[in-house]
Structure 1
Amino acid sequence: MLKAHLGELKAHAIMAKSKDDIDKVAQHILRFSQRSAYKFNHSLAIVGFVLAGLALLLSFWAQMDLSYEQRNWMRIGGFVIGIACIVNIWLRSASIKSIGDQLYVRAVAINAGIERDYSFDGKAYWHELKSIFPLFNCGDEGQKITKRYLGGVDSTPFTLFEFKYVNVTTHYTTDNNGNSRASQSKSTIYKYGMLVQFTHFNYISLNAKRFSEKWDSASRTFNKLFKVRCATEIQAAKFFNPKVVLAFADNFNFIKSMDVNAQSVACFELPKSIFPSQVKKPSLRKQADFVKQLQHPMQIPMLENAKNLLHFINQNK
């Protein structure tokens, strides 16, 4: 029963489109919790684990009339079955948390006015972006756009992205005999940001090297935060009037970089907290609290700040 119910919740976590959809799911969770707990029956796995432990103990009991090979097989079998039972319990319990997290993230996204896009090829999309923005030209392997959300339908359209890549480092060691040996270590890195289609805003970059001209403001704080490159210094000075400089230094200092191409598509690298999946998630095991937070999900402050940034740029460009 619980497995089927979790399957339904997982489908809702993908298909829900509106707050009404989330409210219906919340009521569905409440009805289910009245007749069943969010806990799997692990009786068989526990019995299997106990029997596996018993087999291991008996394999060491000297009074058991067993050959050396039989004792080894009992130990191997007991160990394998015991581990399998533990893994089974962990996976089933983890599935409850995973599906609850997915559903809550969906509610957060709907509340923020963005929609998860599943209809793209992460590898192909990365190749496309790599040819436009240097931000995506990094990593040794595993480069792909792992998630993206679409938003700003009624205002400035934007796309949130999660970019993953793997850095491979080769280490060389030499033993006492002078023989060299190479080993590799890998580190997975994620970058987050926003792609935005502006109009007539293709002459300034921040902390990116698209243009050859440099421009500095009169504000030391601003200059420490942002390295401005521009098509012409006149255009940069016109956009970065004192009011705009102050706003970027005080309100929009979360920007890691901003790069724009000739078609006025801007790529912002932003903190990971802009993504819905980064919010703190309630536990589905505590149904009353989960439903309450599901119906009134938290906002994403960083995303709201980014939306304000887009509005500010449109007003002042």
Structure 2
Amino acid sequence: MADFVRGLMQRTSRNKTLKEHLGELKAHAITAKSKDDINRVAQHISQFSKRSAYSFNHSLAIVGLGLAVLSVLLSFWTQMDLSYDQRIWMRIGGFIVGVACIANIWIRIASIKSIGDQLYVRAVAINAGMERDYAFNGKSYWQELKTIFPLFNCGDESQSITKRYLCGVDSTPLTLFEFKYVNVSTQHTTDSNGNSRTSKTRSTHYKYGMLVQFIDFNYLSLNAKRFETKWDSASRAFNKLYKVRCASEIQAAKFFDPKVVLAFTDKYNFIKSMDVNTQSVACFELPKDVFPTQVKKPSLRKPEDFVKQLQQPARIPLLEDAKRLIQFINENK
């Protein structure tokens, strides 16, 4: 009995230590500002992994799950001298305890993955020269943006800017955004008795892109309808990719010389749309791969590999291309 109690205390202590350690890593995933900060976290992970594994002890949850299953099975055993109500309550109790145990195991495993992912994404962002911005209201920011750019005027509910990162290219400020919205569709059905029924289906969608503050670049758009005048290039490939609208054909033709047309066709064909306002703020819609959260993430449960990748995080090729696009526009506008 003493050994059982001692073992139980050790398992509880191990889980408590791991939980506290994960809390520290989660804080670092928010506060880390530099590669040096990431390297210090990597050393902390290496030291912790030498004395403890990145896995919770689920013994109690497994025992509870086993007892829950046993309770349900016994409720069906006819040799048990139980009333109908007692059997029902055994099944209900077993089901509730079983679900609680499974949820406990799943939440613990998911917490390790979630915190590892957050920390790695932070390292990727720092390596890319970006800083996660937490100091904004996602709903209010969306309401502000939708009055400026039609891109954000979509969805039926739950519209919000869920994440944004700040960085820059030379002296040009850049904001990466993740925009979430929900579409609601209504279906009307009638059964054989003529009774009508209405149901709603919700689908969640995301858009990704960047807001860029240019100087004196407010006279054309791509795949957006801010301007009335249309302009076509001599390149069929370019015209297939982009519908150009502009303040004047002369300005569009001056910007889109043959070199620029070729670059937009071959190098920068990832642009879904580009819209600009009168203050030369451009809104680019881009593929989701531009966002640091979209990179493949290593598992914290394999600390040696995780530490290596944390110290040398993945690049974001699409973001690098987007930065080169900004430089290219500044050089040619």
TM-score class normalised by the smaller sequence? over 0.9
Aligned position for 1:291: 307
In the alignment, residue 85 of structure 2 is paired with which amino acid? Answer: E
Specify the alignment match of 1:198 in structure 2: 214
Q: Secondary structure at the match of 1:169?
A: strand
Checking the alignment, whether the CA contact within 8 Å between 2:238 and 2:261 is kept in structure 1 is yes
> CA separation in 1, counterparts of 2:315 and 2:171?
19
Is 1:60–2:60 an aligned residue pair?
Answer: no
CA distance in 1, matches of 2:244, 2:170: 30
Q: Does 1:281 align with 2:293?
A: no
Cα distance in 1 for residues equivalent to 2:157 and 2:273 = 23
Classify the secondary structure of the residue corresponding to 1:211.
coil
**Contact residue 132 and residue 165 of structure 2 kept, 8 A:** yes
Task: Give 2:62's aligned residue.
Answer: 46
> Are residues 1:231 and 2:247 paired?
yes
CA–CA separation in structure 1 for the residues paired with 2:283 and 2:109: 39
Take 1:189 and 1:63, find their aligned partners in 2: how far apart are those partners? 54
Instruction: Output aligned runs, 1:111-260, within 5 Å.
Output: 111-152=127-168, 154-260=170-276
Assess if the C-alpha contact under 8 Å between 2:169 and 2:326 holds in 1.
no
Partner of 1:267: 283
Distance 2:161 2:169 in 1: 21
Letter in 2 for 1:312: F
For residue 64 of structure 1, report the CA deviation from its aligned partner: 1.3
User: In structure 1, what is the equivalent of residue 32 of structure 2?
Assistant: 16
What is the deviation of 1:154?
Answer: 4.4
Q: How far has the Cα of 1:264 moved from its partner?
A: 0.2
Q: Give 1:181 deviation, angstroms.
A: 1.9
Report the counterpart of residue 69 of structure 1 in structure 2: 85
Q: Distance in 2 between matches of 1:46 and 1:170?
A: 43
Q: Deviations for 1:44-100, whole angstroms, at most 9, x for unmatched residues?
A: 101111111111111111121111111111110011101110110011011101100
Q: Which residue is 2:119 aligned to?
A: 103
Q: 2:327 aligns with which of 271, 296, 311?
A: 311
TM-superposed CA distance for 1:153, in Å, is 6.6
Aligned identity (percent) is 78
1:202 partner amino acid: N
Verify the 8 A CA contact 2:172 2:212 in the aligned structure 1. yes
Q: Which amino acid aligns with 1:108?
A: V
Equivalent residue runs for 1:27-46 within 5 Å? 27-46=43-62
Farther off after superposition, 128-137 or 55-64:
55-64
| CA distance in 2 between partners of 1:48 and 1:154 (Å) | 59
Cα deviation, residue 177, structure 1: 2.9
Residue aligned with 1:77, SS: helix
In the alignment, the residues of structure 2 paired with residue 90 and residue 208 of structure 1 have an alpha-carbon distance, to the nearest angstrom, of 45
1:23 maps to amino acid: N
Residue 21 of structure 2 is matched in structure 1 by: 5
- 3-state secondary structure, aligned to 1:38: coil
Shift of 1:179: 3.0
Contact 2:164 2:175 in 1 (8 A): yes
The CA deviation string for residues 15-55 of structure 1, in whole angstroms up to 9 with x for no partner, is: 00000000000000000000000010111101111111111
Please report the TM-score for the alignment, with normalisation by the length of structure 2. 0.94
3-state SS of 2:172 partner: coil
Structure 2 alignment gaps of length 5 or more: 1-16
- The whole-number CA distance in structure 2 between the counterparts of 1:140 and 1:280 is 31
Q: Secondary structure at the match of 2:177?
A: strand
Deviation at 1:155, TM superposition (A): 2.9
Partner letter of residue 102 of structure 1?
Answer: Q
Query: Are 2:101 and 1:85 equivalent residues in the alignment?
Result: yes
Q: Tell me the distance in 2 between the aligned counterparts of 1:241 and 1:140.
A: 41
Provide structure 1 residue ranges, at least 5 long, that are not aligned to the other structure: none
- Root-mean-square deviation (Å): 0.8
- Of 177-186 and 288-297, the range deviating more from structure 2: 177-186
Rounded to whole Å, the distance in 2 between the matches of 1:62 and 1:36 is: 47
Residues 185-215 of structure 1: CA deviation (Å, up to 9, x unaligned): 1110000000000000000000000000000
